[in-house]
C-alpha cells in the first residue's frame, strides 16, 4: 500500500464534501510490510480502522475510547395510557428494560430481548417468569407496552432504565452442566445477557461473552420461584458470597454457591445450590468501562460529604449496604434533573417512589461531573464504617456553563404561601436574598450545599436547615420558596441577587484537600465545598481559569464568622475582612490564607479560618470583561466620583477597608439610592451620601451626607465587586 504525504493543508480540505473520506483498505495479510508511524488503513478482515503506532497495527476498537453513554444506557419517564403505547426517546434499540411505577406501589418489571417479548420478571419477588405480559416489542428508539397496569396504567407515572446489548442478536455459548447457552453482548459497553438451561443437578458454568472478568452479575431462574442472586467483585469473598436483589438482607456466605470459583474472562460458575436440571436461567453481567460505567464499593463515613469518584457524570446509581439489612437504592438523572437527587426507588420493594431519606427535603445523592457524593447519613447509603457496593452508568456530559445569563437581580413580593419566582433567564446556583421592608437576616443559598440549607451574611451562626418551608428548590428559570415569613411574608418586599455556576459540580483534587466545585469559569464564579483538615496550612481547588480576585468564605458547621480575601488587601496571606461585621481590614500576625491564592487553588490556615474538621463553603469571583469587575478605589468625598468598570453595572458591593463602616449593596432594580448592608439585618435604607448612579462605563458616587463614609470618604480605601445583568 503506497502512502502520500500531503504538504499543503488546503489540499486536504473536506469541508465542502457531503460524502466520506475513503481510507486505503485491504486484508490483514495485505498490510504494508514497512509502514511509517501514523499510517492509517481500513482492515477488511476485521472491518476496523487501524493505524501503525510504531510497533504494531492497532485498531480503534482496541483503544480506550468509551462508548457514548446515551447510545448504550438511558433513563426515560412516561405516563401510562391504560391501553397500548410505544415509548420513544431512549435513543437506541434497548435490549434490557427495567420498569417501575413511581406514584403507586407495584412490582418492578424486567424484560429483555434475549428471553423475548411478552416475558417479564420482578426484581422484588422470587416469582418465575411471566410469559404473557411484558414489553411487546423492542423498537428502534424505545419499546412498546401492553395494556397492563403494572407498566401502563392510565395516568400513572413510570420510569424505565434501558440498556443496549446487541440489538436482539445472540450467539451460541457453551458451558458445563448447562445447555442451550446464548449470549447477547455489548462488549464496548461491558454488558451481556445470557440464557441457559441446567442439564444436571450439579455444579456447572456458562459463558458470559464479555471477554473480560465481569465486575458484577445477576442470576435468576426463570422457570420456578427463587431469589435473584448477585455476585459483586467487592463482596467479602469472591468465591462464596452472594447478595440477593429481591431482599434487603446483608451479603451471605453461601459456601459453594458459585462452585467456590470466581468468574473468569469467559465463564461464570454456579454450584449445585442454584443449578437445577432442566431449569432455565437468565444472567445479566456487567464490566466497568472507563468513562461509561463504574462498578465498585465505598465505605460509609456517616457524614454528608462522602465522595465517590467514577470519572464521569452519572445518569444512574444503584447502591446496596453489604454488612446489614438495608434496602437497595436507585437514583437517576431524570426523576431529579438537578442536585440534590432525593427521589429513590428500591429494587427489592414494590413501594412507591420516595422523596428523600427522611421523607422531607434531605438530599440523598449529588451527581458530579466525575462521580457522585453521598449527601445523607442514612444507613441505606452511608452508615459509618459500613461497606456499600454500587453500579453507576454515565450520562452524556453536561455542557459547560457560558457567560450568557449568569447574573440577575430579582424583586418579588411575599404572598404567605408557596410560590415560584421566575424570570431570571437561567437556573441559579447561588442566591443571596434579603427582605427589603423590615428587619431580618440575609439568606445565602447555593446548589452545592443544597437548596434547603442557608447561611446568613450578617451572622456567625452555623448553617441552618434543612428547611422544608423556606427556600426549597433551584428551578430552570428561578427558584421556589415556601410560606415562611423570612422568605415570603405576605405583602413584604424582597430582593435576590442570583448567579449561575454549574448545576453539576466536580470533584476537585487540585489542592491538598479534596473539594466539590461548581464553577462557571466563563462568568468568573465558583462555589467550593470542603471539610477543613485538622490543622495547618492547606489548599483547595477553585475551578476558575485564573487566580480569583475576591474570595468569600464561611464555615458551615461551626459558629465562626465570614472571611473575605481581596487581591488589593494590604497583605495577601495575612490580611482579611469579615463580611458579617463593619470592621476595617485586619492583618494577623501569622498566615490566614496559607500559602496564598493561585490560578488553581485558594490557600487557608485551619486555625485562622475555622478550626479543624469543619465544613466550609467559599464563593470565588473573577473579573470578566464587559460583565463583572472586582477592584478598588480611593474615595475623594465629592459627589462626582466615578468608578470605571467598562460596562454599566446592575449590582455593586462596596466596603471601606481602612475604617470601620458597613458593607453596602446597591442595585439597579431598586434604584441607586436604596442600600442594604450584608453585615446587618436592617431593612432597606435610603441614606444621604450612599447613592450611586449606574452609567454606561461604570458607576458614579453622587451622594453627600452622613452615609458618605460607606462608599466615598475622602482619602479612604475601598474595594468593590460589580456585575451586569446579561
- DSSP string across 287-326: --BTTTEEEEEEE--SSS-EEEE-SS-EEEEEEEESSS--
pTM: 0.87
Domain covering 9-62, topology: Seminal Fluid Protein  PDC-109 (Domain B) (2.10.10)
| Predicted pLDDT at 11 | 54
Q: How far is CA 232 from CA 254, 256, 390, in A?
A: 14, 16, 9
Q: For residues 215 and 295, what is the distance between their CA atoms, to the nearest angstrom?
A: 6
Among 575, 576, 305, smallest CA distance to 450 is for: 305
For the chain, which residues make up each domain, given as ranges? 9-62, 69-163, 171-286, 293-394, 407-499, 506-621, 628-723
Q: How far is CA 223 from the centre of its chain?
A: 40
| Predicted pLDDT at 391 | 98
Q: For residues 481 and 515, what is the distance between their CA atoms, to the nearest angstrom?
A: 28
On the CB side of 374, CA atoms within 13 Å amount to 28
- The string of pLDDT tens digits covering residues 8-58 is 555 556 555 556 677 888 888 889 988 888 888 888 877 788 888 777 888
On the CB side of 79, CA atoms within 13 Å amount to 4
Q: For residues 546 and 101, what is the distance between their CA atoms, to the nearest angstrom?
A: 48
CB 147 within 8 A of CB 136: no
| Predicted pLDDT at 13 | 60
Mean of all residue pLDDT scores within the chain: 94
| Predicted pLDDT at 359 | 41
In DSSP terms, 48 is beta-bridged to: 43
| Predicted pLDDT at 4 | 56
Cell of 695: 452609567
> Helices (H) and strands (E) in the chain — how many of each?
4, 55
Among 318, 378, 382, smallest CA distance to 344 is for: 318
* Residue numbers of the chain with a pLDDT score lower than 70: 1-20, 61-64, 356-362
In DSSP terms, 473 is beta-bridged to: 480
CB 363 within 8 A of CB 450: yes
Amino acid at each position: 500500500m503506497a502512502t502520500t504525504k500531503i504538504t499543503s493543508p488546503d489540499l486536504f480540505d473536506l469541508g465542502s464534501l457531503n460524502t466520506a473520506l475513503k481510507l486505503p483498505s485491504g486484508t490483514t495479510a495485505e498490510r504494508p510490510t514497512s509502514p511509517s508511524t501514523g499510517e492509517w488503513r481500513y482492515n477488511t478482515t476485521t472491518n476496523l480502522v487501524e493505524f501503525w503506532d510504531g510497533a504494531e497495527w492497532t485498531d480503534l476498537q482496541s483503544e480506550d475510547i468509551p462508548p457514548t453513554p446515551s447510545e448504550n444506557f438511558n433513563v426515560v419517564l412516561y405516563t401510562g395510557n391504560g391501553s397500548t403505547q410505544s415509548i420513544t426517546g431512549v435513543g437506541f434499540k434497548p435490549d434490557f428494560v427495567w420498569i417501575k411505577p413511581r406514584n403507586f406501589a407495584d412490582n418492578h418489571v424486567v424484560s429483555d430481548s434475549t428471553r423475548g417479548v411478552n416475558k417479564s420478571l420482578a426484581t422484588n419477588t422470587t416469582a418465575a417468569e411471566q410469559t404473557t405480559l411484558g414489553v411487546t416489542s423492542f423498537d428502534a428508539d424505545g419499546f412498546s407496552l401492553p395494556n397492563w397496569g403494572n407498566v401502563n396504567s392510565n395516568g400513572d407515572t413510570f420510569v424505565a432504565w434501558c440498556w443496549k446489548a446487541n440489538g436482539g442478536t445472540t450467539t451460541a455459548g457453551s458451558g458445563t452442566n448447562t445447555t442451550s447457552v446464548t449470549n447477547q453482548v455489548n462488549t464496548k459497553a461491558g454488558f451481556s445477557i445470557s440464557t441457559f438451561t441446567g442439564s444436571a443437578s450439579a455444579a456447572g458454568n456458562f459463558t458470559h461473552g464479555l471477554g473480560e472478568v465481569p465486575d458484577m452479575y445477576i442470576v435468576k431462574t426463570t422457570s420456578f420461584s427463587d431469589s435473584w442472586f448477585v455476585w459483586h467483585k467487592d463482596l467479602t469473598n469472591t468465591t462464596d458470597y452472594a447478595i440477593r436483589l429481591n431482599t434487603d438482607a446483608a451479603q451471605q456466605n453461601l459456601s459453594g454457591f458459585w462452585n467456590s470459583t470466581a468468574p473468569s474472562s469467559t465463564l461464570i460458575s454456579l454450584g449445585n445450590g442454584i443449578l437445577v436440571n432442566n431449569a432455565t436461567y437468565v444472567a445479566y453481567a456487567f464490566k466497568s468501562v472507563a468513562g461509561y460505567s463504574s462498578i465498585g464499593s465505598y465505605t460509609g463515613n456517616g457524614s454528608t460529604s462522602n465522595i465517590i469518584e467514577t470519572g464521569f457524570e452519572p445518569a444512574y446509581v444503584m447502591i446496596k449496604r453489604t454488612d446489614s439489612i438495608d434496602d437497595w437504592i436507585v437514583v437517576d438523572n431524570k426523576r431529579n434533573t438537578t442536585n440534590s437527587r432525593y427521589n429513590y426507588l428500591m429494587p427489592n420493594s414494590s413501594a412507591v417512589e420516595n422523596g428523600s431519606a427522611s421523607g422531607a427535603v434531605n438530599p440523598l445523592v449529588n451527581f458530579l461531573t466525575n462521580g457522585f457524593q453521598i449527601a445523607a447519613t442514612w444507613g441505606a447509603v452511608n452508615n459509618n464504617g459500613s461497606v456499600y457496593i454500587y453500579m453507576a452508568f454515565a450520562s452524556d456530559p453536561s455542557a459547560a456553563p457560558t457567560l450568557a445569563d449568569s447574573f440577575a437581580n430579582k424583586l418579588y413580593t411575599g404572598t404567605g404561601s408557596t410560590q415560584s419566582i421566575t424570570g431570571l433567564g437561567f437556573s441559579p446556583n447561588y442566591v443571596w436574598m434579603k427582605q427589603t421592608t423590615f428587619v431580618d437576616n440575609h439568606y445565602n443559598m447555593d446548589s452545592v450545599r443544597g437548596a434547603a440549607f442557608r447561611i446568613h451574611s450578617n451572622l456567625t451562626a452555623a448553617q441552618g436547615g434543612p428547611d422544608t418551608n423556606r427556600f426549597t428548590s433551584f428551578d430552570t428559570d428561578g427558584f421556589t420558596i415556601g410560606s415562611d415569613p423570612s422568605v415570603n411574608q405576605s405583602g413584604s418586599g424582597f430582593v435576590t441577587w442570583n448567579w449561575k455556576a454549574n448545576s453539576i459540580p466536580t470533584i476537585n483534587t487540585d489542592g491538598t484537600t479534596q473539594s466539590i466545585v461548581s464553577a462557571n469559569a466563563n462568568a468568573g464564579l465558583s462555589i467550593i465545598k470542603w471539610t477543613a483538615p485538622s490543622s495547618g496550612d492547606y489548599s483547595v481547588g477553585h475551578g476558575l481559569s485564573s487566580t480569583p480576585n475576591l474570595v468569600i468564605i464561611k464555615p458551615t458547621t461551626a459558629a465562626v464568622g465570614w472571611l473575605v480575601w481581596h487581591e488589593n488587601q494590604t497583605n495577601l496571606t495575612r490580611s482579611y475582612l469579615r463580611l458579617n461585621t463593619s470592621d476595617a481590614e485586619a492583618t494577623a500576625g501569622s498566615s490566614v490564607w496559607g500559602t496564598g491564592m493561585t490560578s488553581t487553588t485558594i490557600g487557608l490556615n485551619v486555625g485562622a479560618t475555622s478550626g479543624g474538621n469543619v465544613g466550609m463553603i467559599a464563593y470565588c469571583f473573577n473579573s470578566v470583561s464587559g460583565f463583572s469587575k472586582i477592584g478598588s478605589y480611593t474615595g475623594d468625598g465629592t459627589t462626582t466620583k466615578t468608578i470605571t468598570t467598562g460596562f454599566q453595572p446592575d449590582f455593586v458591593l462596596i466596603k471601606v477597608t481602612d475604617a470601620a463602616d458597613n458593607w453596602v449593596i446597591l442595585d439597579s432594580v431598586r434604584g441607586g439610592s436604596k442600600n442594604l448592608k450584608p453585615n446587618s439585618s436592617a431593612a432597606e435604607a435610603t441614606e444621604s451620601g450612599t447613592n450611586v448612579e449606574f452609567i454606561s462605563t461604570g458607576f458614579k458616587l453622587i451622594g453627600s451626607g452622613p452615609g458618605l463614609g460607606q462608599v466615598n470618604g475622602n482619602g479612604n480605601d475601598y474595594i468593590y465587586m460589580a456585575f451586569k445583568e446579561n
